[in-house]
């Protein structure tokens, strides 16, 4: 029970069972939690990063080194830990890559802030210094960024391979195969807006997965893969030069919304009623046939009688398609989604070179392929078991984000810890010009940025301190080389020659998100929690349960 004293009189502020942590203690607690979260994902960074195995209460197993997935599956309880999870999710949604980087940076920024607070520097001063450092870091990124042509597949593939580098998805040839598929997919769905800007909607790159085969069996389908089967056994299993009707209407007799009563007094009336239903369904099929369609996809159901007539007409039908899949089919085939059969005509139909039902991993799936200029495509992921398939899917999602970012923004930077050394050196010079107590915060920001090359070195089994010292002294050599951590040779190497490139947008988003998260957490000097209070009459009375303490990380 939290309480204050005013004029010697005790004033009760919070209900029984609540807890309160004030001032320096609150800041220490928050910083410790944030650093603990960062430590949980730190070892996953880089091509030689380690994986985490996460087992749910139900026994489901996830093996991954994807930062956002690890934090999401950890099911953290502490509110500060949830902020750290949120920045990883934001990074994932905004740019699709760099989730581990942003969490590690935020943890290091808070760790550095904790040291300054212990020296008596006020959090407001630290926050001001961090804001200045983030702006300067962004300016440095823009200065050293290089342009890339969207038709330069060689550079795009290098960016894709770096994004995929930390994932355990096979050897170099496998990663090259996957990266080529992603680049093709992104280019296929890319469009120009009215203002001339490049627009890439990730929703139209469908990633479908099925265990079985090897990772190299993963393929790009110029169309859409529907995880459904053809609705009637009498229908053809495949059709070439398909004319496709997309329906948002049920091919069945809908029940009335209001209460209705039909009175039948003889077998003849019953027979007439059933025949009328059959005639209505037959009429629906005739309208489809009249339009020229030989394939029907509908979001709603298809009556058994309607399936029979469709089958007799040689029309393939697939029912209960998800709304998102219908939209993808529309973008891939050029078909319009029709809500009334009366309006269906040949202008509403789409085209696909082939539509075929195939049995994959014991399940039947419908492949819509060889579309003319599909603006929606599918990457069909295969792998030896479910864990491998899931990790390949996460890897492809990251690469889609990285490649899209660089194609929209048109800029990339040299990776391998190289750009971080650039930023750190510039920040230290900048801090001398700023002066005052903010200077110390900017220097701590520079130290936090250097955690990336430091962690890359640690993951590779190199001495982190020696690596940092060498990088600072040899970073930009006289011959124009840009040095970073060479993971494969366990040494310092020229990252520009090795083609270690990363999207500018990913780095900028990581710096801004980490800085803002640190600023939010540093502003907190009072934690009030009423969670964990036992209900009246519960075990141990009013002070039972968890004792009202702050919830810990799970």
Active site residues: 66, 99-100, 398
Residue pair 367/355 in contact (Cβ under 8 Å)? The answer is yes
Task: Record the tokens describing residue 290, joined without a space.
Answer: 């009249």
Sole residue written with tokens 């997919």? 185
Phi then psi for 472, rounded to 5 degrees? -65, -35
Report how far residue 336's alpha carbon sits from residue 331's, in angstroms, rounded to the nearest whole number. 9
Q: Which residues pair with 486 in a beta bridge?
A: 491
Task: Give the total residue count for the chain.
Answer: 554
Tokens 């229908």, residue located: 235
* Cα 358 to Cα 24: distance, rounded to the nearest angstrom: 63
Which token pair is 115? Answer: 């040291």
| Sign of torsion over alpha carbons 386, 387, 392, 398 | positive
Q: Quick check: helix, strand or coil at residue 286? A: helix
* Among the listed residues 221, 452, 246, 430, the one whose alpha carbon sits nearest the alpha carbon of residue 338: 246
Q: At what angle do helices 67-74 and 23-42 cross, to 10 degrees?
A: 120
Over its C-alpha atoms, the chain yields an Rg (Å, rounded) of 30
Rounded to 5 degrees, φ, ψ at 100 are -65, -45
What one-character-per-residue DSSP string does 17-48 give?
T-EEEEHHHHHHHHHHHHHHHHHHHHTT-STT
């Amino acid at each position: 029970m939290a309480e204050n004293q005013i004029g010697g009189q005790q004033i009760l502020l919070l209900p029984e069972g609540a807890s309160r942590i004030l001032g320096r203690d609150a800041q220490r607690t928050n910083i410790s939690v944030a650093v603990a979260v960062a430590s949980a994902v730190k070892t996953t960074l880089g091509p030689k990063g380690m994986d985490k195995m996460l087992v749910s209460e139900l026994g489901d197993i996830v093996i991954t080194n994807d930062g956002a997935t690890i934090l999401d599956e950890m099911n953290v309880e502490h509110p500060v830990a949830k902020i750290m999870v949120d920045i990883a999710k934001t990074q994932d949604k905004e740019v699709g890559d760099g989730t581990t980087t942003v969490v590690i940076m935020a943890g290091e920024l808070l760790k550095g802030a904790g040291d300054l607070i212990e020296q008596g520097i006020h959090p407001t001063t630290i926050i001001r210094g961090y804001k200045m450092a983030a702006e300067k870091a962004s300016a440095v990124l823009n200065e050293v960024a290089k342009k890339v042509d969207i038709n330069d597949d060689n550079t795009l593939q290098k960016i894709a391979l770096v994004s995929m580098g930390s994932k355990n998805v096979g050897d170099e040839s496998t990663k090259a195969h996957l990266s080529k598929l992603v680049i093709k997919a992104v280019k296929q769905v890319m469009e120009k807006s009215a203002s001339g800007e490049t627009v890439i909607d990730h929703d139209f790159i469908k990633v479908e997965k099925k265990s079985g085969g090897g990772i190299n069996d993963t393929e790009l389908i110029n169309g859409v893969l529907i995880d459904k089967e053809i609705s009637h056994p009498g229908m053809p299993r495949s059709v070439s030069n398909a004319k496709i009707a997309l329906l948002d209407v049920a091919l069945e007799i809908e029940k009335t919304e209001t209460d209705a009563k039909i009175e039948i007094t003889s077998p003849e009336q019953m027979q007439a009623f059933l025949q009328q239903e059959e005639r209505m369904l037959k009429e629906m099929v005739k309208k489809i046939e009249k339009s020229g369609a030989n394939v029907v996809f509908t979001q709603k159901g298809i009556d058994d009688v309607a399936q029979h007539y469709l089958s007799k007409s040689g029309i393939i039908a697939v029912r209960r398609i998800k709304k998102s899949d219908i939209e993808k089919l529309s973008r891939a085939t050029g078909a319009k989604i029709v809500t009334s059969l009366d309006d269906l005509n040949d202008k509403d139909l789409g085209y696909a070179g082939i539509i075929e039902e195939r049995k994959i991993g014991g399940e039947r799936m419908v492949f819509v392929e060889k579309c003319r200029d599909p603006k929606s495509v599918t990457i069909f992921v295969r792998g030896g078991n479910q864990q491998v398939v899931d990790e390949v899917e996460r890897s492809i999602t990251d690469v889609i984000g990285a490649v899209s970012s660089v194609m929209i923004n048109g800029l990339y930077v040299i990776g391998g810890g190289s750009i971080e050394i650039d930023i750190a050196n510039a920040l230290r010079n900048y801090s001398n010009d700023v002066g005052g107590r903010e200077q110390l915060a900017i220097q701590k920001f520079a130290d936090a940025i250097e955690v990336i090359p430091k962690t890359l070195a640690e993951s590779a089994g190199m001495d982190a301190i020696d690596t940092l010292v060498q990088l600072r002294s040899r970073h930009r050599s006289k011959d124009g080389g840009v040095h970073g951590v060479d993971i494969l040779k366990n040494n310092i190497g020229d990252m520009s020659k090795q083609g270690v490139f990363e999207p500018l947008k990913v780095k900028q988003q990581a710096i801004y998100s980490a800085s803002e998260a640190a600023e939010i957490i540093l502003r907190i000097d009072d934690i009030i929690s009423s969670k964990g209070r036992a209900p009246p009459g519960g075990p141990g009375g009013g002070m039972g349960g968890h004792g009202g303490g702050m919830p810990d990380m799970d």
